[in-house]
Amino acid sequence: MVLEVIFHKMRSFFLPKDLHPLSTDFSMLTYLILLSMVIYYLISKGKSWISKFMRLSKQPTQHFADEDKDRVIVVGSGILGSSIATVLARDGRQVTLVERDLKEPDRIIGELLQPGGCNVLKKLGLGDCLETTDEAQTTTGYLIHDWKTGASVHIPYPTDNNNPSTQQEGKAFRHGKFISSLRTAAMNEANIKVVEGTVQNLIEDNDVVTGVRYKERGNDESKDLHAPLVIVADGGFSKFRKQLHDDKVTVSSHFVGCIMKNCPQAKSQHAELVLSDPNPVLIYKISDEETRVLVDVRSQTLPKNIKEYLLEKTLPTLPEHIAGPFEDGVINERIRSMPCKFLPPSTVRKSGVLMLGDAFNMRHPLTGGGMSVAFNDVAIWRDLLQSIPDLRDYRQLDDAYTVFQNKRKLSHSFVVNVLAQALYELFSADDEHLSRLRDACFEYFKLGGSCVDGPVGLLSVLTPNPFLLVGHFFAVALYSMWLIIKKSGYKIHIGLYKATGTFIKACQVLFPLLWTEIRTIA
Ligand SMILES: Cc1cc2nc3c(=O)[nH]c(=O)nc-3n(C[C@H](O)[C@H](O)[C@H](O)COP(=O)(O)OP(=O)(O)OC[C@H]3O[C@@H](n4cnc5c(N)ncnc54)[C@H](O)[C@@H]3O)c2cc1C
């Protein structure tokens, strides 16, 4: 009753009297929606101002001395930790890098670096790490095979803007070899002290992170290390995530992988993606003789007999040139698996600490974008920290964090995160609407021209423009509607019904993902 009175008062205040009652109701609704958005915005801004005020009013009781103003501790010497430690040391910071195991890792993650990631690595002054990675293979694009129709589509990486005759290149390698190159670069810096040890706790003083407690390898005694800035980069299985934010990690599937020996390439220097049923399969050469194959298994837990599963379900769906080496690989090589996780960018607002890399944001590995995100994030932080001479200045670091969150979305992370999740939903289609969208996506690529150039610019992280991503996504959805209606012939009413359902499904895939990005715009 009260609401009705307010509504009518507002209507007579805002709207001209001579409007049709229906149009006034619609206009009123628009006003109400706008008003609630403004109120929501003001409330959330107010909340963030208050929490910022509370956060910054706290200082550690034990102040850091002047000579500590450049000290940084980096937890984890993986993709992000090794690279950020090196660039910060080169900028004159005193870095301690703590890594629990300095042996060359043997993992099936992070083996294809997109051209956008290669370019930013060079900008960071770490391009040599690609050259020194034993037998790293150049990739110049993808070949996508559709298992159902047997058709293939060629997706070359774009050419270099400054030199149109040169094609942009990605690199594929053994993950362990690349990590070793990055670690060697870090160890060669005079300003970096590398400690082999496991970080057990983040030390807090008056709600400010002031250091870490760790155990050196082979020594049971815990030691404390202090610094005004701690960068936590302990990867996808992060131990400290729960302490710093409460966003939930979800596991959509597992990548099961093995090495194929001497597997021929359908097209030289190209990664291959098989849109097989039930799941996509990713293939790329990682050394002169070895090819990595990753089969996506859509389930929270793996089938008990994974070899049997691969031979029965996956093998029959593979193109001829891959089938033989795949069978040999499954039978003779070690089968490895990793969960494919999704963690939308979270907000870690605690003085004295930054959480970066997979500990902070993960997406499905289908598009191979994780390392490119990590290196781009490092590049943003290098620039931001260059203008903060004293790391004890928590206010400046807090402001820099806001800039980081917003800047990374526009420069790379929005596109890599949303593209990976959305493409995975389509390519691992588990209902009729998603299957239609997957087929339409393949047909869309077959159109060539901007229908390939746009998406591959996003995938390669060379032109990661969020608007371009949304545009191409809806172009695929509309193309799918058109294909459905065309196929329905004279039963156009059925075609329209199915097409509408498919379009609604496309919205259901995209909008929640967009929200996961928009909600952290500061
Ligand atoms: C199956 C799979 C395939 C992938 N394929 C690709 C791909 O082809 N291309 C791509 O770009 N991305 C890929 N990714 C994503 C990519 O691997 C990650 O985004 C990237 O490795 C993240 O780097 P990071 O530094 O955050 O974590 P990591 O590289 O995992 O490094 C974390 C480091 O922290 C150390 N550590 C952990 N806990 C502690 C502790 N308590 N104390 C000390 N040290 C600790 C670990 O030993 C490790 O060295 C893939 C991911 C998965 C799951």
Specify the CATH number for 66-136+173-249+343-392; select among 3.30.2130.10, 3.40.50.300, 3.50.50.60, 3.30.470.10.
3.50.50.60
Structural contact between residues 95 and 89, judged by C-beta atoms closer than 8 angstroms: yes
**Each residue's pLDDT tens digit, 173-182:** 999 999 999 9
What burial class does residue 162 get, using C-beta atoms within 10 Å of its C-beta: 0-12 exposed, 13-18 middle, 19+ buried?
Answer: exposed
Q: Is 102 in the pocket of ligand 1 (CB under 6 A)?
A: no
Q: What is the pLDDT of residue 164?
A: 83
Say which range, 198-202, 488-492, 506-510, 518-522, has the weakest mean pLDDT: 518-522
Q: Determine the average pLDDT of the residues in 232-255.
A: 93
Biggest CA pair distance of the chain: 83
Q: Is 358 in the pocket of ligand 1 (CB under 6 A)?
A: yes
Q: Is 253 in the pocket of ligand 1 (CB under 6 A)?
A: no
Q: Where in the chain is the domain with CATH 3.30.9.10?
A: 250-341
Residues with Cβ < 8 Å from 140, sequence gap 6 or more? 156, 157, 167, 168, 169, 170, 269, 270
Residue 80 CA, ligand 1 centroid: distance in Å? 8
Closest ligand 1 atom number to CA of residue 198 = 42
**In what helix (H) or strand (E) does residue 222 lie, and over which residues does it extend?**
strand 222-226
Alpha-carbon distance of 388 to 72, in angstroms, equals 13
Q: Is 83 in the pocket of ligand 1 (CB under 6 A)?
A: no
Q: What is the pLDDT of residue 17?
A: 54
Q: Where in the chain is the domain with CATH 3.50.50.60?
A: 66-136+173-249+343-392
Architecture of the CATH domain 250-341 = 2-Layer Sandwich (3.30)
pLDDT of residue 11 exceeding 70, the answer is no
* 251, 279, 371: residue to mutate for ligand 1 pocket, most atoms within 8 A of CB: 371
**Each residue's pLDDT tens digit, 118-155:** 999 999 999 999 987 779 999 999 999 999 899 999 99
Q: What is the pLDDT of residue 194?
A: 98
Q: Please indicate, yes or no, whether the overall pTM of this predicted structure exceeds 0.95.
A: no
Of 463, 373, 459, the C-alpha closest to 422 is 459
Structure tokens at 488: 């329905």
pLDDT confidence tier of residue 103, bands split at 50, 70 and 90: very high
Closest ligand 1 atom number to CA of residue 357 = 26
Q: Nearest 5°: CA angle at 37, between 20 and 414?
A: 125
Beta bridge partners of 171: 113, 138
Closest ligand 1 atom number to CA of residue 98 = 43
Q: Determine the average pLDDT of the residues in 385-402.
A: 96
Q: Determine the average pLDDT of the residues in 349-356.
A: 94
